[in-house]
Amino acid sequence: MRRGCVYLVALGPGNPDLLTVRGLTALRDAELVIAPAGVTTALRAEASSNAAWLEVPVGKPITPDDEVWTHISDLLSQGGTAVRLYQDDPLLDLVGVQEARAFSAAKLPFELVPGPSRLLTAASYAGIPLPLDREPVVLAAPAALADAGSRSTLLVSISAPGEMHGVSEALIRDGRDSASPAVLIQRQASPDQVTHSGTLAAFGRDLPAGDTGGVLVVGNAASERGDLNWFERLPLFGKRVLVTRATDQASRLSRLLQEYGAKPVELPAIRIVPPQDFSALDSTVERLDRYDWVIFTSVNGVDSFFDRVAVLEKDARAFGRSRIAAIGTATAEQLTAHGLRADFVPERFVAEEVMAGLVERGIAGKHVLLPRAELARDVLPDGLRDAGANVDVVVAYRTLPAEPSPEALRRVEAGEIDIVTFASSSTVRNLVSLLGGRTDLLERSFIACIGPITARTAADLGLRVDLVAQEYSVPGLVGALVNAAKERCW
């Protein structure tokens, strides 16, 4: 990105997946982000953690008299970059046009980054066709709707909260048929999207969920969304899914859930921290090539181990002749990211399967290293010792209870969670602890576990387990939920 520039970026409905590549790059590189109030957490997560984030009122342009303007001007004079986010394309947004002209007049370098229009995005996510060759399409502000095009024009407009009754009356008064098909799309392009179909007359009287505003479509195309309504047909659409993984690992599960229409609610039940003492771990790294096998049981184990490899100024060559086993494809993939390929990955991602596979490969008399969490089952090391192996277990990391998100915790306590996911036994134990032992708060939720060991922990703590993934991985867990949704298991 150019230094000393403010980028005027369309954020659209707030879904970071819908940002243009140029807009997303600008957001990630910016040292200052100015956003309309109420921007989604997911979008904020895309910005640099070092970026200053300022919220400004919706609909109010920044002027040279504002403190925010001074921040922008000072930053640009030092060669920094800023991003100004708009709810619509900056040239379709009145505030965007006004600010662009003000930046130009002040000779502040700026770039207009086009992006998804809220109006067109809403139509796409509601499955409403807008073919220009069939009937004219007019994108209009609410105040201009009555004068926008002929009575046969397809109208698309933003309706602010409380405006629907007046807009409907104005259109009918202007000659629109009161029976004209109409659709109001609220909270568009999000798992909370609600689409109301009806007529102008019906919308003028009342709305089932109240007049909270949204995108209004009036015209024949509004009645033709049946076969194009792809978004609301996603198998997990609208489901609030509790994600209990550690913060730095939650994003992968959350993103997969979003692909199927779910709304992830992240309540990390654990946090990953280093060992209290590195001496044992560092000692094994220094003499790593004396081991015949090194077994990694999780992504956390891989990352924590390689953190120390880097601190000790070593790299993948430190493994020398050692062969490597990995439990799970995600663990194997993380090893690949560090320049190593696992020699053995069991078909089933449990310790018992690793043990059986290594016994088949002649583990007796071999030296085995097992870097793992401080609290873990001893099934694998005990079984390998029984098979004649010399096993060293070393603590690579610890799992501790996480600080709960107040909003996520409130949703659990209010019974607003549809599905609870557990990806490890520690997430089960710590979530129950966060809830003060009140497992009754999860009685109405569908509980899904990544594998049988996690499910056993949940059952032992008094939870009803509704689903256990057959493939013990994050994609396997999401796939099992999708299949359950298709079979209408809830």
User: What pLDDT band is residue 100 in, cutting at 50, 70 and 90?
Assistant: very high
Predicted confidence at residue 58, as pLDDT, reads: 84
- The whole-number pLDDT of residue 347 equals 80
**Residue 199, token pair as written in the block:** 């007529």
Among 214-218, 345-349, 367-371, whose mean pLDDT is lowest? 345-349
Query: Taking residues 248-254, what's their average pLDDT?
Result: 80
Q: Please report, as a single letter, which amino acid is at residue 199.
A: T
Give me the mean pLDDT over the 236-241 stretch.
96
- Rounded to an integer, the average pLDDT of 381-396 is 93
In the chain, where are the structural domains located? 5-116, 120-233, 240-269+402-486, 274-398
* Phi, psi of 371, deg, nearest 5: -80, 130
Considering the four listed CATH numbers 3.10.129.10, 3.40.50.10090, 2.102.10.10, 3.20.20.70, the one that applies to the domain covering 240-269+402-486 is: 3.40.50.10090
Q: Which CATH class is domain 274-398?
A: alpha beta
Q: Is the pLDDT of residue 14 over 80?
A: no
- E strands, 49-152, in order: 52-56, 81-86, 110-113, 137-140
- Rounded percentage of the chain residues whose pLDDT exceeds 90: 56
CATH of 120-233, one of 3.30.499.10, 3.30.950.10, 3.30.360.10, 3.20.20.70: 3.30.950.10
Q: How many other CB atoms are there within 10 angstroms of residue 266's CB atom?
A: 18
What is the signed CA dihedral for 207, 209, 211, 212, rounded to 10 degrees? -150
- pLDDT tens digits for range 412-438: 999 999 999 999 898 999 899 999 999
Q: Tens digit of pLDDT for each residue in 184-204? A: 999 889 899 999 999 988 887
pLDDT at 260: 96
Nearest to 359 by CA among 330, 334, 384: 384
pLDDT of residue 245: 84
CA distance 345 to 143: 63
Candidate CATH numbers 3.90.550.10, 3.40.30.10, 3.40.718.10, 3.40.1010.10; the one for domain 5-116: 3.40.1010.10
The predicted model gives 442-455 an average pLDDT of: 94
DSSP notation for 104-133? HHTT--EEEE----HHHHHHHHHT----TT
- pLDDT over 80 (residue 275): yes
Q: For the chain, how many residues are written?
A: 490
For tokens 């909003």, the residue is: 407
pLDDT score of 69: 95
pTM above 0.75, yes or no: yes
425 CB-side CA count, 13 A: 13
> CA-to-CA distance for 18 and 87, rounded, in angstroms?
12
SS3 call for 374:
coil
User: Identical fold at 240-269+402-486 and 274-398?
Assistant: yes
Q: Are 67 and 41 in contact, with CB atoms under 8 Å apart?
A: no
